[in-house]
Structure 1
Amino acid sequence: MRVGLWIEGQLGAPVEEVVRQVSAAAEAGYARAWIGEVGSWDPLTLLAVVGRHVREIEVGTAIVRTYPRHPLALAAQALTVQAATGNRLVLGLGPSHAPIIENEYGQSFSAPGRNMREYLSALTPLLRGESVAYHGESWTAVGGIGVAGADAPPVLVSALGPVMLRVAGELADGTITAWAGPPTIDDMVRPALERAAAGAGRRSPAVVASVCVCVTADPDGARRWVNETFGRAGELPSYRAVLDREGLAGPGDAVVAGDETAVERGLRRFADAGATEILVIPVGTAQEKTRTVQTLGSLAPSLHAG
């Protein structure tokens, strides 16, 4: 199981600070540095810059939103990042959520599963350098993208329900989960992906589990911090369904927190459930976040070996 790191500096920090944090992640032993779309930097543009400065680590998006980006535009962005970074990008994408897509972008969020199926049907051939003439209900894409030196990046889909998991297994290389613990990965995510991938003749899919982690002497305090900071996530239908499935009251209950031994044990449960990578999201106080990043970096080789 690989260990990647969510880069906190993406939240409006100067580019130089993001570069520093990604460089530190590489030195600490993390396999990938992940950046998302969080109302600040454009993640792909930022990764193109960061990847030119830091060449010792893979980079990934967790996630970029599909609705605001035409498949031709996203293919051009992703292949540009591939060329700029020496083909070290993992492209994580997802539909986002109705309040964001409808209220901020003014687009309909109806039938996100169908929308994603159409999107990937156009996008993945474009990433391989093929021309497309795709006409669907939600998307039309006609043309091709050619970027010298760029290979098609792996594509991961933010998928938490059966429809989106089937789409991810059939048309992508795996999924990135959010708030999903080992029981959900073991009982639903991994089996659904494997069935869909096998039916489509694709190889075993990746499961990147996003996990809030805090190495701390105050686990309850870390959980309160997450509920105060990310509490609204529990109100979004797709996240609420996952929390309910695991019997959790709020996002804070999904945190892996405690001393080094407890955290390592908690993360190994994800590997046992079928996760191929842990995307560590450090939470808590500034000191706790620093301790968590350092601790998980030192544990990364043993977790990878396990």
Structure 2
Amino acid sequence: MRLSVSLGLWQDRPAGEAVRTAQIADEHGYPEIWVGEMATYDAFALATAIGMRTDHVALTVGPLAVTVRDPMMIAMGAASVAELTGRQVNVALGTSSPMVVEQWHGRSRAGSATALRESVMALRPLLDGKKSGFSGTRLSSTGYRLRLPAPRSELTVAAFGPAAVGAAALADRMVLNLLTPASAARLITDLRLLSRTTRVAAWVTAAVDPDAPAIEQIRRGVLPYLAAPGYGEMFAEAGFEDVVWYARSGPHPKELLAAIPDALLESVALIGDSVEIMDRLDAYAEAGVDEVALVPVSTEADPFGEATLKALAE
């Protein structure tokens, strides 16, 4: 199985740690860094900084919210990073959350599933250096051609529901986030009915020999998903129906955190010693996952996730 690294961008850690984590991944031979976008750095700016401070690693920028960034903007950003860093730059797309799209950006998520599919269709020729000529239901881009060299980026779609899986079937890769191997297997089965060639990656939080703060960081990361549609059902199926029911009853976050057992975390994360984690990686491989993008936990005991990345590289 291929292992890459996705930057955690942990809210309780200094934002600048992301660059050092990328450098550590590069030093230990990981082939690719996923550069997401949350509340700190612009993803293209961070990818450029990483490209200029590493030696070999390829970059995937995103997932970028398709109802926030238009195809021309994304293509120009990818070409800019590729030209400035000399690296392979790929693009990941997603629909993002209502909080990010509707509250932070003041945009509508209406038709986001259609926009996701149309973004893949509109971006492919743009990233290959062709003049844009796409007009869809939610998106359009006509008459623009990159002046910079075409990055010829691979396209990845972040998927969970059926519509996103359908969009991923048009892309080079589908990426899954915070899923049990069983749930991943079902989505991959759906994908294979539509595409035999789209590769599958999974973002999985990782902590080798974690201490208590590392476990708590993973617990805080899982918390927002417990009551979410689809995710709640997944955790219930994995044996945590009581926790899902409690999460959907509206408790205070501190009370909900205290109710999340370690076993629930272990169902969607790589936690333990190297042997235990390798067994978990095997479970994802058996589900049909081609690549795991490690999201290394960063704590005072293991800043930048360095110990985790080193152990799993070996």
Decide: shared fold, TM above 0.5.
yes
AA in 1 matched with 2:282: R
Q: Distance in 2 between matches of 1:98 and 1:18?
A: 25
SS in 2 for 1:4: strand
Match of 2:207 among 211, 214, 221: 214
> Is contact 2:207-2:308 (8 Å) kept?
no
TM-score of the pair, normalised by structure 1: 0.83
**What does residue range 148-187 of structure 1 map to in structure 2 within 5 Å?**
148-169=148-169, 171-186=170-185
SS in 1 for 2:195: helix
Q: Find the counterpart in structure 2 of residue 304 from structure 1.
A: none
AA in 2 matched with 1:174: R
Kindly state the Cα deviation for residue 242 of structure 1 after the two structures are TM-superposed. Answer: 4.3
Kindly state the Cα deviation for residue 215 of structure 1 after the two structures are TM-superposed. Answer: 1.5
The 1:147–1:184 alpha-carbon spacing in structure 2 relative to 1, beyond 3 Å, is farther
TM-score of the pair, normalised by structure 2: 0.82
Q: Find the counterpart in structure 1 of residue 187 from structure 2.
A: 189
Q: Find the counterpart in structure 2 of residue 201 from structure 1.
A: none
**What does residue range 67-146 of structure 1 map to in structure 2 within 5 Å?**
67-146=67-146
Q: Distance in 2 between matches of 1:273 and 1:46?
A: 32
What's the C-alpha RMSD, in Å, of the aligned pairs? 2.7
SS in 2 for 1:153: coil
The 1:256–1:8 alpha-carbon spacing in structure 2 relative to 1, beyond 3 Å, is closer
The 1:221–1:76 alpha-carbon spacing in structure 2 relative to 1, beyond 3 Å, is closer
AA in 2 matched with 1:104: W
Structure 1 unaligned blocks of 5 or more:
199-203, 302-306
Q: Does 1:297 align with 2:303?
A: no
The 1:241–1:96 alpha-carbon spacing in structure 2 relative to 1, beyond 3 Å, is farther
Q: Distance in 1 between matches of 2:210 and 2:7?
A: 23
Q: Distance in 2 between matches of 1:239 and 1:22?
A: 29
Kindly state the Cα deviation for residue 159 of structure 1 after the two structures are TM-superposed. Answer: 0.4
> Is contact 1:72-1:144 (8 Å) kept?
yes
Q: Distance in 1 between matches of 2:51 and 2:214?
A: 32
AA in 2 matched with 1:264: M
Q: Distance in 2 between matches of 1:289 and 1:282?
A: 10
Aligned residue pairs, count: 291
Kindly state the Cα deviation for residue 93 of structure 1 after the two structures are TM-superposed. Answer: 1.6
Q: Distance in 1 between matches of 2:184 and 2:275?
A: 22
Q: Distance in 2 between matches of 1:284 and 1:132?
A: 41
Q: Find the counterpart in structure 2 of residue 231 from structure 1.
A: 223
Structure 2 unaligned blocks of 5 or more:
244-259
> Is contact 1:214-1:288 (8 Å) kept?
no
Q: Find the counterpart in structure 1 of residue 285 from structure 2.
A: 271
Identity of aligned residues (%): 25
Kindly state the Cα deviation for residue 147 of structure 1 after the two structures are TM-superposed. Answer: 3.9
